[in-house]
Amino acid sequence: MRRVFAGVAASKGLALGRARVREPHRLDVEERMVGEGEIDAERQLLHEALQAARRELNDMRDRVRGAIAHEVGEFLDLHAMLLDDPDLESGLDELIRTGHYSAGYALRLQRDRLVSAFDGIDDAYLRSRREDIDHVIQRVYAALHREPLPQVIGLAGEVLICEHIAPTDLAHLHEEGVVAIVTAQGSTLSHSAILARSLHLPLLIGAHEALLHINDGDALIVDTLSGHVIVEPDADDLRSFRDAEAGTRREKRALERLRKAPTRTKDGTEVRLWANAESRDDVAQAFSLGAAGVGLYRTEFLFLQRRELPTEEEQFLAYRDLVLGMNGRPVTIRTLDLGADKSDSTGLAIADEPNPALGLRGIRLCLAHPDVFADQLRAILRASAYGPVRILIPMVSHADELRACRKLIKRYTDELRKAGHELGEPPDVGAMIEVPAAALALDTLLPHIDFCSVGTNDLVQYMLAADRGNDALGPLATARHPAVVRVLGEIFRTCGEAGKSVAVCGEMASNPEHAELLLGLGLRDFSMHPSSMLEVRKAVREAALS
């Protein structure tokens, strides 16, 4: 019988195939207490399970080959880091020793504690890391009970239906020829979603009813463009699918012809497309697509995938490679953009905050940790010797923060020159406009900066009082709300009158449906993930401003 289930597109695409349902592997462990004489045995069981999970990750690394080895390796590194976190093991030991809990129940309690901490994080990307906690804990639990994890055995032409998908599973699925994945849970910012987009594998998340009502062998059409999965499609569905598939192929061929095309509206208005980058692959793709430069490089990734703070030298090497990768095109490096969401093991432990969205984050955190900020600024300044660099300050709400940053940049520039370091031209300094106060008092910030970058994700969230990570509020958190549109127009106008460049680097800039609106409001600089660049270029070339 034909049925339709809705979801959210995490990776765009169309697919037709047979359903392969994987039941969820849940950590439903009943509370069980152990006697004093059993405590050491339970601790030993847990330590052996942790060791077994580590061996499994090492074995997976050995098996992964080909173009995706680097990306999957990064995910394996993160999972290995979580397993090696001394806080995980010591927390489990403490629960067994003092609570007299069994190893399995201690594992469940520790999982719930960690997930609760991640759920309180304001940043949507970091909050989505709770999936990694789930994957790691499930692996340990399976090892504890000598049970294999549910196997992902995909065959060509099949659509996997599951609760959620780990990036390492997804990599194997891609190699097996699975044509699409539909999950009940997930985030568009998860590692799995990022990898699915890089592999061009359709991924539909949030299809809560799909796992309950789809059976093995059902014929499925997955259309992430419309956000639907159709079970047992009828003749009209199949006809529409074939037409859409042919249209997608034509569109891809047309987009490929735009790789070297100018980004210019029909009436001749020049527009610059910048890239949001997180990895060397992003930088290489951005350069090949003719990006004007890197409009946003997220430095927090250097801090998150490790237990200790990166040194100045380590950061310098990463920023230098970034600059070299753009071969003379400007690179915008955003300073550390974290808040009450920092792992204790990094050395930037922050006490729990009642409202982390309004807490010590972004530039506030950097100024509160001057030694950490010093290492980062010095590394960025040293990288400027290899090409043009711009410094972007996040979460700005007051001109005093910019004055403090300018003073520090001048101080470290002088110190580095005296120490004999070769530096490039003084970097332009910009502010992220993502706090309503910064948007409404922009004229007080402009004398202290050279450019602006509008973070529409947070700006929309703060203006509409709608958490962008809350699925239930999705329809409310729209960048087309009249208040948001009005404020964006005012930002662009104010920057234009002051002769300061302004870009949009949030999700709004990467959506071709918003291109004409942003152009009409006066925007001429868009910054987005490289995978969106051709679609946005096409939208710009089809727009006319007069």
Enumerate the active-site residues. 191, 505
223 vs 202: CA distance, rounded Å = 8
Vertex 19: Cα angle to 18 and 24 (nearest 5): 160
Find residue 222's DSSP bridge partners. 15, 229
Structure tokens at 236: 């009209």
Beta strands 228-231; 219-223: pairing state = antiparallel
Residue listed under structure tokens 């339709």: 4
Between the alpha carbon of residue 404 and those of residues 299, 400, 466, the distances in Å are 20, 6, 31
Which run of H or of E encompasses 297? strand 294-298
* Nearest alpha-carbon partner for 122 in 398, 454, 455, 374: 455
346 vs 140: CA distance, rounded Å = 23
- SS3 of residue 200 by DSSP: coil
Structure tokens at 297: 């490089």
Find residue 390's DSSP bridge partners. 332, 428
- With beta carbons less than 8 A apart as the criterion, state whether 521 and 268 touch: no
DSSP state letters, 250-284: HHHHHHHTTTTS--B-TT--B-EEEEEESSHHHHH
* Nearest alpha-carbon partner for 150 in 159, 158, 162: 162
Beta strand extents in 136-207 (DSSP E only):
158-162, 180-183, 203-205
Beta strand extents in 166-218 (DSSP E only):
180-183, 203-205
- SS3 of residue 229 by DSSP: strand
The amino acid that residue 51 corresponds to is: Q
Residue 282 region by backbone torsions, left for phi larger than 0, else alpha for psi between -120 and 50, else beta: alpha
453 vs 431: CA distance, rounded Å = 6
472 vs 469: CA distance, rounded Å = 9
* Buried/exposed code over 487-522 (b: 16+ C-beta within 10 A; e: otherwise): bbbebbebbeeeebbbbbbbbbbbbbebbbbbbebb
SS3 content of the chain, % helix, strand, coil (to 5): 50, 15, 35
278 vs 284: CA distance, rounded Å = 11
Helices (H) and strands (E) in the chain, counts: 23, 16
The amino acid that residue 249 corresponds to is: R
